[in-house]
Amino acid sequence: MNMVFKFSKSLKFDWLIIPYSAVFLFFFIVPVTLVVIVSFWDYTEYSIIPDFIFLNYIEIFEDCFNLEKDLCVTLKTYWSTLVYCFLTWIFTILIGFTIAYFLAFHVSSLSLQIVLFLICTIPFWTSNVIRMISWIPLLGRNGLINQILISSGLVSEPQEWLMYSGFSVVLAFVHLYTLFMIVPIFNSMIKIDKSLIEAASDSGANRWQTLWQVIIPLSKPGIVIGSIFVITIVMGDFITIGIMGGQQIASVGKIINVQMNYLQFPAAAANAVILIFTTLLIIWGMTKMIDIRKEL
Amino acid sequence: MILAYVLLFIRLVLKNRKGISMKKSIEDVSKKKNVKKVSRRKFVKLTAAAAGVAAGSNLITGFPAVHASGQITLRYLSTAVNQHPGIAKKARDVLGINVQYIPVTTDEVTKRIITQPNSFDIVDSEYFSLKKLMPTGNLVGIDAKRIKEMNNIVTAFTKGEVNGKKIGDQGTAPKKVLYLKGANSTEFSSTPTDHVTLIPTVYNADTLGIRPDLIKRPINSWTELLNPEFKGKASILNIPSIGIMDAAMVVEAMGEYKYPDKGNMTKKEIDLTMKILTEAKKAGQFRAFWSDFNESVNLMASGEVVIQSMWAPAITAVKSKGIPCVYQPLKEGYRAWAAGFGLPSTLKGKKLDAAYEFINWFLSGWAGAYLNRQGYYSAVLPTAKKYMEAYEWAYWMEGKPATQDIKSPSGALLAKTGETRDGGSYNDRMGAVKCWNAVMDENKYMVRSWNKFIAA
């Protein structure tokens, strides 16, 4: 609202917001509104019926308030999705920050930066499904790692937790999404005035102190933007969790996917609304920590 | 998206360069500007080249959509498993009809018919979806009088019999949903009429697939799927409506419960079935679940799984890698499925005639022989027989040992001389069908229970 107001004060920029607003309206506001509306509709096997009922939401939280039973499906699913989200987030920050730091401060030649960056995109050179199926020969029961472990005498039985487990899910996520962390952090880092770093070392700061007190605070916007990318992608993912988790690990995305396949659009819409709400809550929390708009 | 990222990065780096160059001394400015220009020009060239490649590839993929004038195109919607390039090519040669395949998943076929009924001209759908499809009125009754081989369609469809004997009809058996009360009716008729919902294309009897080299003992019952001996080495398919049927076969084989109709369970029966499955899952029985045909092939071929629910072409795919794999016949019988051609109610004129022409050709033998050679069964057996060699017919349909090497339509070796088909003859396999893929009345509840099971 604030931004719109600011723009309208200087007439010169008025028309510039139109294309963006149109894209935002047609590809975000309208679809999300439709999802919210449909989430209150009724449905049968073959049709959806305009209505205003809360049944779709009630069914999601059914059993959740019954404390004698185990945790209900919805909470369990959200819990496991959040755990994977958190682990992926931590690892992508650690790895992404390190790589971005290296690219920004240790590589000075432009062509080498581009070459190294292209190497970072290798995980995206094949299709998602093929990429994930390719993990089997590496991590599987008869895979390369197990063969090495057994032949070196470290273990006597094949290690089954390497594949179709929480481990393999997080591994695949980190492999895929670290790039989304690298780019915004790199962006923040190259904006850092080199004289600040010189000033830090002139004032007697060692490398760690420079890192903690100069580079990390100034890279925060990049870290937050990267985190938003990673968190929103992981929260909605169902293909990676499905394939790498052997489809034995529930995810919110998978529940929505199954309901869509069975034409239960209103139920899927209700789940999607809750998912959007949860994700927005996380992002809201992050933007509370740092004001991205100001930092950009 | 990734391309955008690469471009963003290059832009950032260039910007960075510019920043550095600005800091350099003033007398260098003109020279630096030159450098900047060059790198920018290079950058523009690069992006233009990338855009060119993208446009080029679009042209290539878009090409088959351009047809010779006058030739009729039929957009053929079905799962990829049913779409054989060989059949489309032959149809073009024989009929001059251009068959354009639209490959999607089983659930997506149903979704498309309901939500986008104008996006195809002919559909190859599973019979069990019909309960969802017909009430929409998006499919029309096919005029039986225009189908030449209508009277020769196998009795498994028309009467629910194989070789004169009744077969299992639990679930959505084709005979229950084959006929409509009228051409535009949305109600099924229990007696034969001239209005057919789907003209059968392929069908088969499904069972468990096993790796005999890793199991090393005979398997003969569905109970083995949950046998703790195969802990961490079993799999079941993650398509709820089919997975629960396999689970029900196991529960019944274990003697836990006898279902009045496995294809139409009550809430209590769903709870019982899912409870047994959940316990097995928590005990670590399953290595993984699969929902895509290729996943089941990978699980089996890599040895991650030694026993699992499987489809016939997946067995063939594992075997063609030289890995032993058996489509194990079990004493409790098979779970069957069937697919057939349906026509959208909006199809008219030349296209409608072409669709009938294509269906009649499909039943006339060449396509049937093609399907039979892949381990499926075709709808009209006598015509298919004419297009198969005697030794092929004996192996695939009569369960006799192969007198020559058996090859798939693409030429891959499927069985060596002397081998017999898993499960034996057509009459043995289709005669032992116990239930059919189905949509239950309690489908909503079933899907929710299945999601609970996955989360457990």
Q: Do A250 and B5 touch (CB under 8 A)?
A: no
| Residues A50-87: b if buried by 16+ CB within 10 A, e if exposed | eeeeeebbebbeeeeeeeeeeebbbebbbebbbebbeb
The pLDDT value given to residue A82: 93
pLDDT greater at residue B383 or residue A72: B383
Q: Is A38 a member of any domain?
A: no
Read off the pLDDT of residues B91-123 as tens digits, 9 standing for 90 and up.
999 999 999 999 988 888 998 999 899 999 999
The whole-number pLDDT of residue B11 equals 59
Q: What spatial distance separates the first Cα and last Cα of chain B, rounded to whole Å?
A: 35
Residue A46 lies in a domain: no
What pLDDT is attached to residue B42? 47
B438 and B306 together in one domain: yes
Q: Cβ of B281: how many Cβ atoms within 10 Å?
A: 18
Residue A171 lies in a domain: yes
More confident residue, B454 or B51: B454
Residue whose entry in the numeric block shows the structure tokens 């017999």: B420
Residue B2 has a pLDDT of 52
Would you state the pLDDT for residue B56? Answer: 38
What pLDDT does A83 receive? 93
Position B15 scores a pLDDT of: 56
Contacts of A243 in chain B (CB under 8 A): 295
Could you tell me if residue B418 is inside a domain? no
A141 CB near a chain B CB, below 8 Å? yes
Residue B88 has pLDDT above 90, yes or no: yes
Q: In the numeric block, which tokens belong to residue B367?
A: 């396509």
The mean per-residue pLDDT over the stretch B155-180 comes to: 92
B437/B290 same-domain check: yes
B342-396 confidence digits (pLDDT tens): 999 999 999 999 999 999 999 999 999 999 988 899 999 999 999 999 999 999 9
**Domain shared by B258 and B193, yes or no:** no
Residue bearing the bigger pLDDT, A287 or B51: A287
Pairing between β-strand B307-310 and β-strand B234-237 as defined by DSSP bridges: parallel
Asked if residue B324 is part of any domain, the answer here is: yes
Kindly state whether residue B115 falls inside one of the protein's structural domains.
Answer: yes
- Subunit contact A261:B107, Cβ cutoff 8 A: yes
Is the model's pLDDT at B63 over the cut of 90? no
Amino acid of residue A193: D
Closest alpha carbon to A74 in A267, A245, A251, A258: A251
Which of B109, B294, B304 best tests the A interface by mutation, with the highest count of A CBs <10 A? B304
Residue A109: what pLDDT? Answer: 86
Domain membership of residue B2 (yes or no) is no
Same domain, B87 and B132: yes
Given this model, what pLDDT does residue A60 score? 87
- B-chain CB neighbours of A183 within 8 Å are 5, 8-9
- Mean pLDDT comparison of A243-252, A256-265, B31-40, B384-393, highest-scoring range: B384-393
Residue B353 shares a structural domain with residue B441:
no
Q: For residue A231, is it within any domain?
A: yes
User: B226 and B175 in one domain?
Assistant: no
> How many independent structural domains does chain B possess?
2
B residues 364-403 closer than 8 Å to A (CB) = none
- A-contacting residues in B 82-111 (Cβ below 8 Å): 105, 107-108, 110-111
State chain B's mean pLDDT as an integer: 85
Chain A residues lying within 8 Å of B2, measured CB to CB: 121, 124, 179
Domain that holds residue B155: 73-197+337-363
The residue of chain B with its CA nearest to that of A137 is B302
Reading phi first (left if > 0) and then psi (alpha if -120 to 50, else beta), residue B322 is in left
B114 Cα to chain A: minimum distance (Å): 7
Does some domain include residue A43?
no
pLDDT 10s digits, A121-139: 887 888 877 887 788 889 9
What integer is the mean pLDDT of A62-72? 73
Of residues B24 and A185, which shows the higher confidence score?
A: A185
Pairing of strands B326-328, B199-210: antiparallel
Q: Is A248 close to B17, i.e. CB distance below 8 A?
A: no
Tell whether B289 lies on the interface with A, counting CB pairs under 8 A: yes
Which of B5, B105, B302 is nearest residue A179 as measured by Cβ atoms?
A: B5
Lowest mean pLDDT among A51-60, B33-42, B420-429: B33-42
Based on the fold, state whether residues B192 and B153 are members of the same structural domain. yes
Helix (H) or strand (E) holding B377: strand B377-378
Segment B233-241 mean pLDDT: 91
- Write out pLDDT tens, residues B272-315: 999 999 999 999 999 999 887 888 998 999 999 999 999 888 89
Which range (A162-166, A274-278, B61-65, B148-152) has the least confidence?
B61-65
Same domain, B128 and B81: yes
Does B379 reside within a domain?
Answer: no
The model's confidence at residue A258, banded by pLDDT at 50, 70 and 90, is confident
* Rounded average pLDDT over A234-246: 89
CA distance linking residue A46 with residue B344, whole number of Å: 16
Looking at the fold, whether B358 and B328 belong to one and the same domain comes out as no
Residue B270: what pLDDT? 96
Q: How many domains does chain A have?
A: 1
Task: Decide if A47 touches B, using CB distance below 8 A.
Answer: yes
Confidence of residue B73 (pLDDT cuts 50, 70, 90): very high
- Domain carrying residue A172: 71-295
Is the pLDDT score of A146 beyond 80? yes
pLDDT in tens, B2-60: 555 555 555 555 555 544 444 443 334 444 444 444 444 444 444 444 444 444 333 33
Task: Establish if B143 belongs to a structural domain.
Answer: yes
Q: Is residue B310 part of a domain?
A: yes
Same domain, B282 and B328: yes
Span B190-233, pLDDT tens digits: 899 999 999 999 999 999 999 999 999 999 999 999 999 999 99
**Which pLDDT belongs to residue B14?**
54
CATH number for the domain harbouring residue B232: 3.40.190.10
Which of A188, A193, A196, A140 is CA-nearest to residue A168? A140
Give residue B291's pLDDT: 81
- Check CB contact under 8 Å for A183 and B8: yes
The three-class DSSP label of residue B356 is helix
Give Dmax over CA atoms of chain B in angstroms. 100
Phi-psi region of B216 (alpha: psi -120 to 50; beta: other; left: phi over 0): left
Residues B148 and B263 in one domain: no
List the CATH number of the domain containing A273. Answer: 1.10.3720.10
Three-class secondary structure assignment of B153-175: CCHHHHCCEECCEECCCEECCHH
Q: Is the domain of B253 the same as that of B217?
A: yes
B304 touches A at CB < 8 Å? yes
The residue among B136, B214, B302, B437 with the most chain A CBs within 10 A of its CB, best to mutate, is: B302
Q: Name the residue facing A76 among B241, B295, B455 (closest C-beta).
A: B455
The DSSP secondary-structure symbol of B129 reads G
E strands, B291-332, in order: 307-310, 326-328
In a domain, A30, yes or no: no
In a domain, B278, yes or no: yes
